[in-house]
Copies of this chain bind each other. A is one copy, B any other.
Amino acid sequence: MKKRERHEQILLQLKLRPHVRVAELATLFGVTTETVRRDMGDLERQGLLERAHGGASATHPGAHRDLDERRQERVVERERLAGLAASLVRDGDTVMIDAGSTTMVFARLLAFAETRVTAITNSLQIGMILGQSASARVILAPGNYLPQEAAVVGIDTCDYLARYQVDACFLGAAGLSEAGVTEAVEGFAAVKRAMMRQSAACRFLIDASKFGLTQLDVVAQFEEMDTLVSDRAPDPALAACLAESGVRTFAP
């Protein structure tokens, strides 16, 4: 087994579980622990995993390699944002949730709060997180699998969503500016629009770092938004646009 193969295997294992041990992989690959250690060293230098005593852990999905302190603060803000969004969901609601790191935190809080919901999503991770809660019913949409985002997209996804009608959709986004809500990942915008069409209320979860950014795909104009949930109030110019279009804004 070549070095390259081992590296891929290690990363693959880390996709499946959060932590692997040196000794474990050594026997699995039939090599010395030292070799595995060296492999991990290489991968760590590439930022693909994090070493720990006796093994390695997966890097957090979508983690920026900033300072730890900054990362922590971002997480805190995101938790607040997601908490606000979760408080908008009531027992018995049906919702659609799209793929994204912010919506993932939202889903975790929803599961933790044991809100009784029926959720339709195109994100595998969100499905898994929310599915662990006994009080949630999860329906997964079909489609072409996008490994970078662990989500499905495409015509099938959008068609399938059209079969449901829900109380609200909770969508993330990569940008919010005068151009409206925009997204960068190919295929996501179409899914978001499909979700919006089937929802009585449309809630966008966008943290303040996305304010002022414009990405390639336009997801929605201000008029189409019902609610914006964020961790900080937008600047006056943006706030004016939002208010003019009747967008309710939630921010701590």
Q: Which residues of A contact B (CB under 8 A)?
A: 5, 8-9, 11-12, 15-19, 21, 50, 52-55, 57-63, 68, 71-72, 75, 79, 104, 108, 111-112, 124-125, 127-129, 131-132, 137-147, 150, 152, 156, 160
Contact = CB atoms under 8 A, between A and B. Distances in A.
B53 A21 contact: yes
Contacts of A62: 16, 124-125, 128
A127 B124 contact: yes
A18 B59 contact: yes
A191 to B, nearest CB: 13
A15 B71 CA distance: 11
A138 B148 CA distance: 13
Nearest to A139: B144
Contact of A128 (B8, B15, B75): B15
Contacts of A147: 128, 131-132, 138
16 contacts: A11-B132, A15-B75, A16-B71, A17-B50, A18-B19, A19-B57, A21-B53, A52-B52, A54-B54, A62-B128, A124-B127, A124-B140, A128-B147, A131-B150, A137-B145, A138-B144
B52 A12 contact: no
B19 A19 contact: yes
A17 B5 CA distance: 27
Contacts of A144: 137-139
Contacts of A75: 15-16
Contacts of A150: 128, 131
Contacts of A63: 16-18
B131 A145 contact: yes
A21 B58 CA distance: 15
B143 A139 contact: yes
Given A138-B145, A142-B141, A129 B19 contact: no
Contacts of A79: 15
A69 to B, nearest CB: 11
Given A71-B16, A112-B9, A61 B129 contact: yes
Contact of A140 (B8, B12, B128, B152): B152
